[in-house]
Structure 1
Amino acid sequence: MPTDPFVPDRAWGSGAPDAGVRQADVYTDRDRERWWSEAPKNPRRTAFERDRARVLHSSALRRLGAKTQVLGPSSDDFVRTRLTHSLEVAQVGRELGKVLGCDPDVVDTACLSHDLGHPPFGHNGERALHEVALGIGGFEGNAQTLRLLSRLEPKVFADDGTCVGLNLTRASLDAATKYPWQAGDGPRRADGTSTRKFGVYPDDEPVFAWLRQGAPERRKCLEAQVMDLADDISYSVHDVEDAIVGGRVDLERLRVTAEQERVVAQVRDWYDPAVDDDTLGAALDRLVSHPIWVSSYDGSRRDLARLKDLTSQLIGRFCAAAEDATRAAYGTGPLTRYEADLIVPDETLAEIFVLKGVAALYVMAPREHEPLYLAQRTILFDLVDALAESGARHLEEPFAADWREAGDDGARLRVVIDQVASLTDTSAQQWHARLCGMLSEVY
């Protein structure tokens, strides 16, 4: 068998901590503490295993099967949905976290949870809901995830009747928090402005303060960093795979210098990573010039296998680079929580970003001005208006109860946003047809 050109001499994962070090031993009772104290029902299962099971069996996770990743779930039978993307992120994150010494169930829980708060129609829907929610703190899928895990997804109730969501452990909830700050409080860019992303709404501050007790300000725990990288890796590799299969990427053109410059410009415009354009350009040229890169695609089983092999090699390449760099900095012992930061070499970051740029240039950016995108935003704008004007009458009962308990118009609007964000692409269209009349002809 020939040596795989993308795989290092050792197998990815061989730098795992000693087998005699149990991952559970490096987590404390404080890490396993829950927002609302519970007596474990099955002492044979760890607290972190129960966390993962709660997310896996949640209705919010099931709904991701009908929510857009990049292309809508009804566009064809091959493309990823938010659910399949989350499952892939969980596999990548679990393996990377395990070889570093993180509890794999904590990382798995974070990865399965990371997109739970995303609304219908992907990032297009997220931008629409942010616009209508500007007066109450905006909308952000990651902040919505924390709200869902700690408040909206029914599993555990406190003695006073308050729903505390899935009531995950501190370690798992912290690991699922990709942006541990409120809007406007994030890390500063070179121009002094805060990053647009945030992870908590003002009225969810109490549980956020609890889960962040003792954590360095704005610093993500290692498990969250692993989840974040697994998301980026899966997003970059699999979106390119979907784009190639869908015929949206001209593989030969990617070898042309002018086309590579377009990709780099797209990366800079959309993502503005902390690597320079020369590094990005070199990364793209390095990838498309490598023998493992697919130079053509005709839809045959052989080409599908070549494409799948490419995605596997890329995932292994990126994870091995992060593992090696992190181990070089922190040694071979188990790494968890705030004892280490995940280190990703600039060359690896650049390769991930240029793959994201390929998907952005050929798939996402051209769709920004399509009638379908406008129709999707209109659906969500109309739904928020209709539900806000009709009170609790058309809300599902859990949200209707929240509406009745809300103390002011801002709180009631947040309830409406919660309801709309919970819908799938399909149910949003159906609700719109029922409450707002006929859908746009693009459907």
Structure 2
Amino acid sequence: MDGNNEFPHGAGHYDEAALRRWVSEHDKRPGRTAFQRDRARVLHSAALRRLAGKTQVVTPGATAQAWDATPRTRLTHSLECAQVGRELGAALGCDPDLVEAACLAHDLGHPPFGHNGERALDEIAAPCGGFEGNAQSLRLLSRLEPKRFVEEEGGNGVVSVGLNLTRATLDAATKYPWPRGGRPGDPASRKFGVYEDDLPVFEWFRRGAPGRRRCFEAQVMDWSDDVAYSVHDVEDGLHAGHLDPNLLLAEPERREVFAVAAERYAPPDAEEAELAEALDRLLEQEWWPHGYDGTAVAQARLKDATSQLIGRFCLAAEGATRAAYGSGRLTRYAADLVVPRGTRLECDVLKAVADRYVMQRPDQERLRRDQHAVLVELAEALVARAPDGLDPQFRALFTAADDDAARLRVVVDQIASLTDASARRLHARLTGAG
């Protein structure tokens, strides 16, 4: 299906092909752009609301200070990413509604328990092609999130086409534009953006794209995601009492941070000395939150530091990209986002700080083992009892599935849709665990 909808007013530098939808439709409110409609659809989706119940880094209620029990969730992270992306994209000439929609959508596929849940579901889903949060996001946008339906060919009923977003928005929301095993230069990578049975819509919106290259808006979304979570995860770690910023001045602690950065975040050729220089550049800033103690003044200084960091990272990318491509509007495949190496390393070091002091706490390993067991046991119970135990939407999909692999994918879709709390409740109900 390659529906041709009208070229809406205000679409700017985006051609008619970028504005097409999988199923052609007419706007009930003329005057809105196609990307304003896309943004509204993601913003009003149930999948976005569910992110409020999915942990970002610090589990709600687990902070050291009783007065601060409101760390970020996947939802608040997505909203903050959207704000960063909208402003950076607009400064570079992208349609701001398009970039905001992509940022709001980028984490929709994350399962309960975050990356730990993602790893558990990848094991569970091995017989049907594995699991990846970014591929799950595309599946939600193009298939699972109830919004638009279309008659199947041959009159065999109706099927969901998800939010039926434009080609440009689906492309912008796709961080990894390749199937499993298709990452350029790294076919063993676990990162991919589309499952086998979602390839038709993927190939439709990627038609004409240069190989595995990401569109410019997706690059803006990805950098906005990096900026938002690297800065805010450190902020949440400080609020929760997990991170003492003075530790970053001690050599043994610094070496541990650099080791995490080198292993998980920084480019392979990054030397420890280069990572140390990146951290020191941040520590030398007059706004860096040295001596954070949780007082009102310290909180205000920390909030200023987060604003300074976001501005620092975004302005560096904007300046370098403008230096490379000039002052015109940069959209789709007309440019690549340029982020200076030093800026990327500063961001990578911040990610490593949050990883070392928040994610690697001793209690987190016990929690991860428990979360893994909950999802594995829940999957086993659902497979054994399905369609009993599935929500009505997934029960119908399970009944209509053609084979065991398709039925397993439905079970995985059901589990991925759950919040942290609802996964535990369903597990307790189906397994009898108290």
**TM-score normalised by the chain length of structure 2:** 0.93
Partner AA of 1:222 in structure 2: F
Q: Is 1:175 aligned with 2:172?
A: yes
Match of 2:238 in 1: 244
What is the distance in 2 between the residues matched to 1:187 and 1:418? 27
**Separation (CA, whole Å) in 2 of partners of 1:257 and 1:287:** 16
Equivalent position of 2:325 in the other structure = 330
Which residue of the other structure, out of 380, 383, 389, is the alignment partner of 1:388? 383
What is the correspondence of 1:222-301 to structure 2 with a 5 Å cutoff?
Answer: 222-274=216-268, 276-277=270-271, 278-301=273-296
Question: What's the CA shift for 1:158?
Answer: 1.0
Cα deviation, residue 269, structure 1: 1.8
One-letter identity of the residue aligned with 1:374? R
What does residue 56 of structure 2 align with? 69
**C-alpha contact 2:262 2:268 (8 A) present in aligned 1:** no
1:31-430 mapped onto 2 (5 Å cutoff): 31-76=18-63, 77-160=69-152, 161-189=158-186, 193-274=187-268, 276-277=270-271, 278-366=273-361, 370-430=365-425
| Matched AA of 2:47 | A
SS of 2:255 mapped into structure 1: helix
Decide which moves more: 403-412 or 288-297: 288-297
Separation in 2, partners of 1:273, 1:397: 45
Cα distance in 1 for residues equivalent to 2:129 and 2:262: 27
Which moved further from structure 2: 382-391 or 287-296?
287-296
Code of the aligned partner of 2:219: Q
Q: How many residues align?
A: 415
AA aligned opposite 1:233:
V
Comparing 251-260 with 392-401, greater Cα deviation is found at 251-260
The 1:287–1:122 alpha-carbon spacing in structure 2 relative to 1, beyond 3 Å, is: same
Q: Is the 8 A contact 1:136 1:410 kept in 2?
A: yes
Following the alignment from structure 2 to structure 1, what is the Cα–Cα distance between the partners of residues 369 and 189? 26
Residue segments in structure 1 that go unaligned for 5+ positions in a row: 1-21
For 2:146 and 2:353, locate their aligned partners in 1 and report how far apart those are by CA, in whole Å: 39
Q: Tell me the distance in 1 between the aligned counterparts of 2:364 and 2:160.
A: 41
CA contact (8 A) 1:68 1:81 kept: yes
CA deviation digits over 1:241-286, x for unaligned, max 9? 0011111112112012332221110111222425512321210111
Q: Which 4+ stretches in 1 moved above 4 angstroms? A: none
Among the aligned pairs, what percent are the same residue? 59
What do the CA deviations read for 1:71-98 (whole angstroms, capped 9, x no partner)?
Answer: 2234352310000000000000000000
- The letter for the 2-side match of 1:247 is G
* Alpha-carbon distance in 2 for matches of 1:121, 1:367: 17
Mapped to 1, the partners of 2:228 and 2:425 lie a distance apart of: 31
Opposite residue 186 of structure 1, the aligned amino acid is R
- SS of structure 2 residue aligned to 1:162: strand
Q: CA RMSD in A?
A: 1.4
Q: Which secondary structure does the structure 1 equivalent of 2:11 belong to? A: helix
User: How far apart in 1 are the matches of 2:122 and 2:89?
Assistant: 32
Q: Quote how far apart the aligned CAs of 1:41 are.
A: 1.5
Tell me how far apart the structure 2 counterparts of residues 266 and 25 of structure 1 sit (CA, whole Å): 43
Query: Secondary structure in 2 aligned to 1:252?
Result: helix
Normalising by structure 1, report the TM-score.
0.91
